[in-house]
Chains A and B, each alone.
Chain A
Amino acid sequence: MKNSIFEKNTLTWIGIIFITLILLIFQDKWVWASKYPKDLIVPFSDWINFSMEKFIEQFGWFFLSISWLLSWPIIGAQWLLHSLPWIVVIFLVCFIAYLSSGVRLALFTLSATFYMVLIGYWEESMNTLALVIISVPMAIFIGFGLGVWGFFSKRAEKVIMPILDIFQTVPTFAYLLPILLLFGFGTVVGLIASILYSFPPMVRNTILGLNRVPDHIIESAIMSGANSKQLFWQAMLPSCKKQILLGINQSTMAALSMVIIAAIIGGTADIGWEVLYYIRKAEVGQSLVVGLVIALMAIIIDRITSGFALNSDKAVKGSQYLRNIRLNYLAFAILVSILLFITASFFQVLADWPYNLSIWVSSHINDFFETFVKTFKTEIKLVKKYTLFFIMLPTKIGFQQAVSPFTWGFKLEMFHKIFYFMSFILVAFWFLKNKKNGIFIFLLLLMIFLYFGLTNMPWLSLLLIYSFFALRVGGYKLALGTFLGLGFIVIVGMWPEAMISIYLCGIAVVFCFIVGTSLGIWAAHNSVVSAIVRPINDTLQTIPLFVILIPFVMLFKIGDFTGLLAIIIYAIVPSIRYAENGIRNLPSEVIDASKMMGSTKMQLLFLVKIPLALPVIMLGLNQTIMYGIAMLVIAALIGTNGLEQIVFIGLTDGNMGKGFIAGISMAILAMIVDRITKTVSKKRSEALGLSIK
């Protein structure tokens, strides 16, 4: 029964491959099939531009007045943070850090904040902090409200969830576009963008937390005579406090990263703008010095908020006691602040760090990197060249064009081609003979794909391949969604750019998945590796994307290759994480049972552990792709050529229509890949009877 269905699928696949080959052979005749004709492109972007113009003519005043209103709290927060002497702000932040996680974090915070003072970027740091301080409460308020609403009303949840998906998958730059047009230049754009970007995690965590409140707690509260208000505020909410606090942590981090990204539109005079400024001027040393401020700020904010979340269930004494303690803390903080304030008014240095006392390390960093680049000039070039010639170009334009005397040292002759195709076909048929139909199809597709290259593949056949794959994985709904989504990208004329995005991101993802998963599996078996990898992962996940780019730009200049490396470094983290967790959290009975059956370590790994952990590893792949796309967007800054670049250009030129359509196209790609990988993971775990947290 199962076999016959499989055969039928194989036949359909062969049909699709056949169509692809025909389209490729006749691509000169049927140009429309390989390159979507320009005349048929639907001018969505013009329509958007036009209607946006009309809309602003009509309602522009409304948004401008909101913008004016919102600018006041920002100005207020900035004024407050600027007028307080730095010593007072540092004390308060350190004190909060102490309350959250203890002395060690307080000391770290102290040195990190003092670093900001020392290098002369206190003011810019405070501008960034001001935006975060204003946007986070609003995001939490909105997110919590929507979360509660979504929890109580299934209908509301159905509306809210897709909106969250869109907000979280549309490239960050694309957000800024409409906001920029509606609200005008300035810090308010950053504020609104960061609110929009940071409320979704709050919604998700709120719903998750409320859903996870155990039944027995709800029932016991009802039986204690709670009315619905008491049930919610006194029983359910406190029971999911930890999840809510985690939501606040994630929202805060999202807000910070968006505030940094929003610097791109300028006029904010914050730390993100400074970094960008130095990246553009190619002053790498200085950009790293300032970038470190962002990284430190992110780490501090993350550790403080997550500290509150993780320690929330470690309450020790009764609430009466806690209330007193809190009052004491507050009194202590106010008292010390006042004392420091007075001291600072006598010693000017404690209020405003003098310019001539600031230290300048950037020139040393520049020197260091320069010598490094000079010493390893040939090696760097070699790495870049080999990756470009042997991996990137073949994927992009295929062996057909990539192999030339200049790149590979020889010309592609007929016998090369015959050898290439014959060996692929032979191996493929060997798999078919052994009933591995999936691998058979995969090899045939890979053969065609590597020969012609991703950007030369006819859009029509790629559309067929993706949609049929979606059909096999997730059924008609997913297939239809895939077909419509990709079809949209085709008819708005974004297909070529989309392929370039996929090519860059795809190489990175394949690399990350293979290397990252192996690393993760290693880390699961070796606690030393695990202990080394974990803090690196933690840091990479906390640092805003911007900063990750800097060292790569230093070493490899701008371009696709640098973008690729940046994506890899960022997107490899989830692959490592999920693989390690997946392997570590397997049910121990199964492992013990296999050991008792006499399996070797390798058998245990490949026959038991990896198959069982596969659903989790697949989720890691999903996250790797999402991270990859997120970084790809930022990589537009260093001159990549895909959709992300169009979004970026749209932003800088104020061409909302085009940038927005490109942004939507990226979101569509992200969502399709997300659904497909998640479905595979879910099906696997259901088949195994495991549940994934």
Chain B
Amino acid sequence: MKNNVELSKQIKLSCRNVWKVYGDNSDSFFSNNSYFREDPSILSKKITEQGQIVANANVSFDVHIGEIFVIMGLSGSGKSTIVRCLSRLIEPTVGEILLDEENLLGKSEKELIEIRRHKMGMVFQNFGLLPHLNVIENIAFPLKLQGLKEKERLQKAERVIELVGLNGRENNFPMELSGGQQQRVGIARSLAVEPDVWFLDEPFSALDPLIRKQMQDEFLRIQSLQKKSVVFITHDFQEALRIADRMAIMRDGQIVQIGKPVDLILNPKDNYIRDFTKDVPWESVLKASDIIDKSQKILQKAKEVPFDMPVAKMLPLLSKKSMGVVVVDQAGKKLGMANAQSFVTALATAEN
């Protein structure tokens, strides 16, 4: 499962002050370094006034090793552009993309191909499957591009097919599969090269709600086995909450707020964020670790609950045990006490 507390803080991928402006001479706004001192919103407005389109304005964030970093935003907020900048499918106008502390923007075409072949995998909203190849050939396609022998690549592909649960479908063509199955192929293909960084661009948006939920669970299961560094794009706030370790909310090409889902809910930065968070049922978002009352001494005899237990499940316990329960992390270390009082306190903070 997700590990909210013990995230390794080592940075895998980093996006630093990235701008993407569409239009002629878009570079000219950034030709001297004075732009750096300007407020991004003001500069962005200035550029827009000159008839150019600002897709991303001063976007910065880090993705830690093994975490699921979700970028959430409505359509037109620039989330698809930023993930394409990260993979350099789109060339950012200015900024830095650091992968393992090396700037991707300085890489040559050839180096970039090598990086994509070994370090990156990407899943697309419309699947991006090749219609003339069957399932196994689609999955083995990246390996074929690397020049692997047929036997070897089929072997590797077979392994990921197992991972996504498509056994028996190897010889079907994409057209013959349902949307959910097609996206399983997309996921398998992106994992076939065993990448470190895994981009998912609205992978489940084209699917029916029920299938979407299944696929989210499936994704979390796969991620728990693979431990990739994930950048996950979505326009669905609920989806973001379900899967994110940390998330960023974008609007008008800028990041409005970054944080753990619960941070966003407890401390929304402005009304825009609050609009998303206000209908979220607290008890299902808040985890045991979120309602710890630090002021209380840890009672050794109290009942232990895991840190990631949803508060909704704790409610019966809290109502029975007036002294509260003790929250422990994965390793069994006691983090603190939680009780009905601390739950109400957490809610009260959130409501304001």
Q: Determine if B136 is an interface residue (Cβ-Cβ < 8 Å).
A: yes
Chain B residues 128 to 144 lying within 8 A of chain A, measured CB to CB, are 128-134, 136-137, 141-142, 144
In contact, A238 and B127 (Cβ under 8 angstroms): no
Q: Determine if B122 is an interface residue (Cβ-Cβ < 8 Å).
A: yes
Given A223-B122, A315-B173, A317-B171: A241 touches B128 (CB 8 Å cut-off): no
> Which of A219, A224, A316, A319 has a CB less than 8 Å from the CB of B137?
A319
Distance to closest chain A CB from B241 (angstroms): 26
In contact, A224 and B175 (Cβ under 8 angstroms): no
Given A225-B113, A234-B145: A313 touches B130 (CB 8 Å cut-off): no
Distance to closest chain A CB from B149 (angstroms): 14
A219-B90 Cα distance, complex, nearest whole Å: 10
The residue on A at minimum CB distance from B134 is A318
**Contacts of A221 on B, CB cut-off 8 Å?**
128, 130, 141
Distance to closest chain B CB from A460 (angstroms): 45
In contact, A224 and B145 (Cβ under 8 angstroms): yes
Q: Determine if B89 is an interface residue (Cβ-Cβ < 8 Å).
A: yes
In contact, B116 and A241 (Cβ under 8 angstroms): no
In contact, A225 and B146 (Cβ under 8 angstroms): yes
Given A216-B126, A230-B145: A222 touches B116 (CB 8 Å cut-off): yes
**Contacts of B130 on A, CB cut-off 8 Å?**
217, 220-221, 234-235, 238-239
In contact, A225 and B193 (Cβ under 8 angstroms): yes
**Contacts of A223 on B, CB cut-off 8 Å?**
87, 89, 116, 120-122, 190, 199
Interface size on A, residues (CB 8 A): 24
**Contacts of A220 on B, CB cut-off 8 Å?**
122, 124, 127-130, 186, 189
In contact, B124 and A219 (Cβ under 8 angstroms): yes
A319-B141 Cα distance, complex, nearest whole Å: 13
Q: Determine if B205 is an interface residue (Cβ-Cβ < 8 Å).
A: no
In contact, A318 and B175 (Cβ under 8 angstroms): no
In contact, B128 and A217 (Cβ under 8 angstroms): yes
**Contacts of A315 on B, CB cut-off 8 Å?**
132, 173
Q: Determine if B274 is an interface residue (Cβ-Cβ < 8 Å).
A: no
**Contacts of A239 on B, CB cut-off 8 Å?**
130-132
**Contacts of A318 on B, CB cut-off 8 Å?**
134, 136-137, 171
Distance to closest chain A CB from B164 (angstroms): 16
**Contacts of A216 on B, CB cut-off 8 Å?**
124-128
Distance to closest chain A CB from B66 (angstroms): 21
Q: Determine if A388 is an interface residue (Cβ-Cβ < 8 Å).
A: no
A318-B134 Cα distance, complex, nearest whole Å: 6
Q: Determine if B334 is an interface residue (Cβ-Cβ < 8 Å).
A: no
Mask: chain A, 212-240; 1 = CB below 8 Å from B; 0 = not: 00101101111111110010001100110
**Contacts of B110 on A, CB cut-off 8 Å?**
227
Q: Determine if B2 is an interface residue (Cβ-Cβ < 8 Å).
A: no
In contact, B124 and A241 (Cβ under 8 angstroms): no
A317-B176 Cα distance, complex, nearest whole Å: 12
Mask: chain B, 154-173; 1 = CB below 8 Å from A; 0 = not: 00000000000000000101
Q: Determine if B212 is an interface residue (Cβ-Cβ < 8 Å).
A: no
| Residue of A221, A226, A316 most packed against chain B (CB within 10 A) | A226
A377-B109 Cα distance, complex, nearest whole Å: 78
Mask: chain A, 305-329; 1 = CB below 8 Å from B; 0 = not: 0000000010111110000000000
In contact, B116 and A224 (Cβ under 8 angstroms): yes
Mask: chain B, 282-299; 1 = CB below 8 Å from A; 0 = not: 000000000000000000
In contact, A227 and B129 (Cβ under 8 angstroms): no
In contact, A214 and B132 (Cβ under 8 angstroms): no
A657-B295 Cα distance, complex, nearest whole Å: 103
**Contacts of A238 on B, CB cut-off 8 Å?**
130-133
A216-B136 Cα distance, complex, nearest whole Å: 19
A226-B145 Cα distance, complex, nearest whole Å: 6
Mask: chain B, 169-184; 1 = CB below 8 Å from A; 0 = not: 0010101000000000
A431-B78 Cα distance, complex, nearest whole Å: 54
**Contacts of A219 on B, CB cut-off 8 Å?**
84, 89, 122, 124, 128
A130-B187 Cα distance, complex, nearest whole Å: 51
Distance to closest chain B CB from A433 (angstroms): 46
> Which of A224, A225, A241 has a CB less than 8 Å from the CB of B132?
A241
A214-B125 Cα distance, complex, nearest whole Å: 12
A319-B121 Cα distance, complex, nearest whole Å: 25
A679-B186 Cα distance, complex, nearest whole Å: 42
In contact, B142 and A313 (Cβ under 8 angstroms): no
A227-B144 Cα distance, complex, nearest whole Å: 12
Given A239-B132, A313-B131, A317-B171: A224 touches B141 (CB 8 Å cut-off): yes
Distance to closest chain B CB from A326 (angstroms): 15
Distance to closest chain B CB from A32 (angstroms): 51
**Contacts of B193 on A, CB cut-off 8 Å?**
224-225
Q: Determine if B117 is an interface residue (Cβ-Cβ < 8 Å).
A: yes
Chain B residues 239 to 263 lying within 8 A of chain A, measured CB to CB, are none
**Contacts of A317 on B, CB cut-off 8 Å?**
134, 171
A214-B132 Cα distance, complex, nearest whole Å: 14
Chain A residues 302 to 355 lying within 8 A of chain B, measured CB to CB, are 313, 315-319
The residue on A at minimum CB distance from B84 is A219
Distance to closest chain B CB from A217 (angstroms): 5
**Contacts of B109 on A, CB cut-off 8 Å?**
227
A317-B113 Cα distance, complex, nearest whole Å: 31
**Contacts of A319 on B, CB cut-off 8 Å?**
133-134, 137
In contact, A225 and B127 (Cβ under 8 angstroms): no
Distance to closest chain A CB from B138 (angstroms): 9
A97-B87 Cα distance, complex, nearest whole Å: 47
Distance to closest chain A CB from B23 (angstroms): 18
A538-B131 Cα distance, complex, nearest whole Å: 29
The residue on B at minimum CB distance from A317 is B171
In contact, B120 and A214 (Cβ under 8 angstroms): no
Other A-B pairs beyond A216-B127, A225-B117, A239-B132, 18, CB < 8 Å: A216-B124, A217-B129, A220-B122, A220-B128, A220-B130, A220-B186, A221-B141, A222-B89, A222-B116, A224-B117, A224-B141, A239-B130, A241-B132, A313-B131, A313-B175, A315-B132, A315-B173, A318-B134
Task: List the 3 closest A-B pairs by CB distance, nearest first.
Answer: A220-B128, A225-B117, A224-B142
12 contacts between A and B (CB under 8 A): A220-B129, A221-B141, A224-B116, A224-B117, A225-B113, A225-B116, A227-B110, A234-B144, A313-B131, A313-B132, A318-B171, A319-B133
Task: Please give the residue numbers on chain B whose beta carbons come within 8 Å of chain A beta carbons, in ascending order.
Answer: 84, 87, 89, 109-110, 113-114, 116-118, 120-122, 124-134, 136-137, 141-142, 144-146, 171, 173, 175, 186, 189-190, 193, 199
